[in-house]
Structure 1
Amino acid sequence: MTKNWAGNITFSADVRTPRTVPELQELVRLSENVRVLGSGHSFNRIADTTGTLLSVAGLPRIASIDLSDDSVSISAGLRYGEVTAALQDEGRALHNLGSLPHISVAGACATGTHGSGDTNRPLAAAVRAITFVAADGELVTLARGDADFPGSVISLGALGVTVLLQLDTQPSYELSQVVYDGLPVARLGTDFEEIFASAYSVSAFTDWVDPDVMVWRKMHAGTPYEPTWLGARQADGSRHPIKSMPADFATQQHGVVGAWNERLPHFRLEFTPSNGEELQSEYFVPRAAAPQAFEELQRLGERMAPVIQISEVRTIAADEQWLSPSQGRDTVALHFTWIQDEAAVRPVVADLEEALLPLGARPHWGKVFTADAATLRECYPMVPEFVALAGRYDPAGKFRNDYLNTYLPS
């Protein structure tokens, strides 16, 4: 049976991989229930089904760059590393990337993967048009400006099977990455604005017990940087986000200039991520609530210590996708990498939610959380509109599963 990337989910059905769009359309048309499995980087049963489990990775590969309108059209099965390499070859770029270049573009967009940067919106914000196979097997295209578009990209697979995405591109750019050790953890709150405005993309790594924080600054080429900064010092060697792990597969550090697609991710494309070693949770708080959230996390540090591997803090600019974690507000993402022991992790996650949800936190759709449907409706104000949209495109519930029935009941 097929498992997800982390190995904590065994899917209920074998994966079918159609080779053409018409074959995919026929599978959808004839199936009672359908879900799509991307690159398997979710940590809950969002992709599971007892019906037909599909992969779009076998569809004809498309990466068509249009220089006349600054766009690229890509088949849904492509991974970010493949798309970004093709763009870089043509002198084009995307505005933002996630930590791993190995994730599928369609899957990342559908679940709200975001990247980092004070002025950078999440990955789904680059989508200007989406084409999907609807419940009747017909192709539907929605584009920016269409009334239904804001609910169509971060859709959790509830509208149909995505086959094509058109993304905004921009001229290629170069970045350098500098890692700092020893930022005093208290400065995350007192110097929050300065820290996260200091580079195009910034990540801060901590376990909320260690008094020292590691900061990765990804800066435009030519931006000056200091050997000491806010009480931290430039790292004397390459670093992995988890201090005890070897840094062999991390992207180039030490201020060496390189292309955007070789610096924005934390890990190199040629690195194959390990399986079965972690669980993940993530919560998104309004930017103004970040200092208070940091205080709560330090208070819970000893509670998390037995199960946490690392926590990452990033910023995201507001966007308008209905189910986006940063919908309508500038946001701070609080990411947690746990040990691979769900029974031990879930009570800690519940304690985290008790502390963070009153601050306006939104759980990540594709990761481990304990919130119920009523809570999610409070966290994500556009849930009623999205549920109505899904009902119009899929009135019989072909794309629904236990996850959607539990957390986004129709």
Structure 2
Amino acid sequence: MTGTNWAGNLTYGASALLEPASVDELCEIVAAAPRARALGTRHSFNRIADTTGVQISTAALPALVEIDPAAREVTVSSGLRYGELVEELDRAGWALHNLASLPHISVAGAIATGTHGSGDHNGSLASSVAGLELVTADGSLLTVRRGDPDFAGTVVSLGCLGVVTQVTLDIVPTFQVRQDVYQGVSWESIADHLDAITASAYSVSMFTDWGDAGAGQAWLKSRADVTPPADFFGAAPATRQLHPLPDESAEFTTQQLGAPGAWWDRLPHFRLGFTPSNGEELQTEYLVPRFHALAAIDAVRSLGPVIRPHLFVSELRTIAADELWLSPSHDVDCLAIHFTWRMHVPEVTALLPALDDALAPFAGRPHWGKVFESDRERLTAAYPRIADFRALAERLDPNGKFRNGQVDDWIFD
């Protein structure tokens, strides 16, 4: 028994959790294990990280942050959390182009599931990967770099190709960000001005409960030298620090009200110094092509009466296209529709098929680390390189050491 995930909705069935202290030890563990899965910071809400064999955490591997200024790259140990990386990068004058809502997730885990962040021109976290080193099924090390034939299939791997030991990421010069929040973006404004709304800052998130009022809040994260609009499509600027949930304390949200700060202290929604407790929540997310965005929003709005009783809040944000085969933003700019659910497990589970039905006509791609109900036919249609990924996995792991029931249902025959 290796415990539960972060949310507490799952108890893992693995026989043991192993934490090797060196790459050599990791190679020995993988070579000897009949079944194994990598385990990150437990922020997945489904059984993607589970196994009937051993779970392996790389958090105890020697910490590595090696910056190459000439190449504009940083190589980091896979178990490092983004929050453990960002300040060291910033002190050296560098930054990552994007961060997720929480900086507490591991680098390799976030990349493997296609976790993203926000911004019309910002690719997912995985899009910044320039190279990977991983331990494959026979215990040997494999290094893959951008431009290699298998690279686009290896980055967002769902843990099916091996256990990643280190990741090389693109970096950019450090920058300052200001965050401004507006209240009351109507559905009419979203319908008439969606492209202008999402283009109005480096990163834009809108929060809604799918009621008639539209998006109760819009969070604009702009480079600090950009002045935000005084009037935001009819929405009023907030006069106090806000939480995405109207009745929650904003104590742990990143600084708003236009105060400039480091990229790493503004791009996430929640502060690095905030340690999330086990979350009494579930999460679902679909990414739809930008050209389907308004139709997809309307489809979800039609489900509002059945969604709202079980919802904390939904978030709408955009992500730029990338080349990665299993990335939810593969080959197309996307709108992400995110749901943070109350811990109403039976009720949420029951409504997931209706949500999948509503978004299937718009080529909705589910986030691999969240809860969703879909079928092989829809996933194959939504991810056109899924057959190529299956072939790559079968070549690197012919006996299915890194597979489990969850990924078998999604991908494998």
TM-score, normalized by length of structure 2? 0.98
Alignment of structure 1 residues 77-88 onto 2, 5 Å: 77-88=79-90
Q: Following the alignment from structure 2 to structure 1, what is the Cα–Cα distance between the partners of residues 322 and 43?
A: 23
Report which stretch shifted further, 169-178 or 366-375: 366-375
Correspondence 1:239-258 to 2 at 5 A: 239-258=242-261
The aligned residue for residue 322 of structure 1 is 325
2:179 equivalent in structure 1: 177
Mark the runs of 5 or more structure 1 residues left unpaired by the alignment: none
1:44-55 maps to which residues of 2 (within 5 A)? Answer: 44-55=46-57
2:89 partner amino acid? L
State the one-letter code of the partner of 1:386: F
User: What is the deviation of 1:387?
Assistant: 0.2
Q: Which piece of structure 1 moves more, 144-153 or 225-234? A: 225-234
- Aligned counterpart, 2:107: 105
2:169 alignment partner, SS class: strand
**Which of 378, 381, 389 does residue 381 from structure 2 map onto?**
378
Range with greater deviation from structure 2 (34-43 or 271-280)? 271-280
Matched, 1:282 2:267: no
Output the CA distance in 2 between the equivalents of 1:363 and 1:252.
30
Partner amino acid for 1:4?
Answer: N
Q: Distance in 1 between matches of 2:362 and 2:66?
A: 43
- Distance in 2 (alpha carbons) for counterparts of 1:317 and 1:226: 23
Query: What is the 5 A alignment of 1:145-294?
Result: 145-213=147-215, 214-294=217-297
Q: In the alignment, residue 181 of structure 1 is paired with which amino acid?
A: Q
Residue aligning to 2:91: 89
- Report the TM-score when normalising by structure 1: 0.98
In 2: Cα distance, 1:225 partner to 1:270 partner: 27
Over the aligned positions, Cα root-mean-square deviation in angstroms equals: 1.0
CA distance in 1, matches of 2:352, 2:48: 18
Confirm or deny: 8 A CA contact 1:176 1:221 kept in the other structure.
Answer: yes
Give the gaps of 5 or more residues in structure 2: none
**CA distances 1:146-172 after superposition (whole Å, capped 9, x unpaired):** 000001110000000000101111100
Count of residue correspondences: 410
Query: Take 1:392 and 1:168, find their aligned partners in 2: how far apart are those partners?
Result: 28
Match of 1:63 among 58, 62, 65: 65
1:368 aligned onto 2:365: no
Contact 1:181 1:212 survives alignment (8 Å): no
Report the 3-state secondary structure (helix = DSSP H, G, I; strand = E; otherwise coil) of the residue aligned with 1:288.
helix
- Secondary structure of the equivalent of 1:392? helix
Cα displacement (A) at 1:212: 4.2
Contact 1:249–1:271, Cα closer than 8 Å, also in 2: yes
Structure 2: how far apart are the matches of 1:220 and 1:102?
23
The answer (yes or no) to whether the contact 1:190–1:291 under 8 Å persists in 2 is no
Moved more, 320-329 or 341-350: 341-350
One of 392, 397, 400 as aligned partner of 1:397: 400
* Counterpart code for 1:403: Q
1:274, distance to aligned residue in structure 2 (A): 2.6
Q: In the aligned structure 1, how far is the partner of 2:310 from the partner of 2:156?
A: 30
Amino acid at match of 2:181: V
How far residue 339 of structure 1 moved from its aligned partner, in angstroms, is 0.8
In structure 1, the partner of 2:301 is 298
Q: What residue is the counterpart of 1:114 in the other structure?
A: 116
Is the 8 Å Cα contact of residues 189 and 290 (structure 1) preserved in structure 2? Answer: no
Structure 1 residue identity aligned to 2:294: P
Counterparts of 2:44 and 2:247 in 1: how far apart (Å)? 24
CA deviation vs aligned residue, 1:109-152 (integer Å, no higher than 9, x gap) = 00000100000010001110000001010100000000000011
> Partner residue of 1:34?
36
Tell me what 2:13 maps to. Answer: 12
Instruction: Quote the Cα distance in structure 2 between the aligned partners of 1:4 and 1:189.
Output: 38
**Identity within the alignment, %:** 50
Please report how far the alpha carbon of residue 341 of structure 1 lies from its aligned counterpart in structure 2 after TM superposition: 1.9
In 2, distance between residues paired with 1:242 and 1:381?
36
Distance 1:351 1:187 in 2: 27
SS of aligned partner of 2:49:
coil
Q: Secondary structure at the match of 2:48?
A: coil
Distance in 2 separating the partners of 1:52 and 1:348:
32
Which residue number in structure 2 is paired with residue 142 of structure 1? Answer: 144
In 1, Cα distance between equivalents of 2:325 and 2:392 = 11
Question: How many Å separate the matches in 2 of 1:305 and 1:358?
Answer: 22
SS for the counterpart of 1:3 is coil
**Secondary structure, aligned partner of 1:366:** coil
Separation in structure 1 between the aligned mates of residue 322 and residue 229 of structure 2, nearest angstrom:
33
Aligned-residue offset at 1:353: 1.2
- Residue range with higher mean Cα deviation, 262-271 or 350-359: 350-359
One-letter amino acid of the structure 1 residue matched with residue 244 of structure 2: P
Report the secondary structure of 1:176's partner residue. Answer: strand
- For the residues of structure 2 that align with 1:335 and 1:69, how far apart are their CA atoms? 35
2:74 matches 1:72: yes
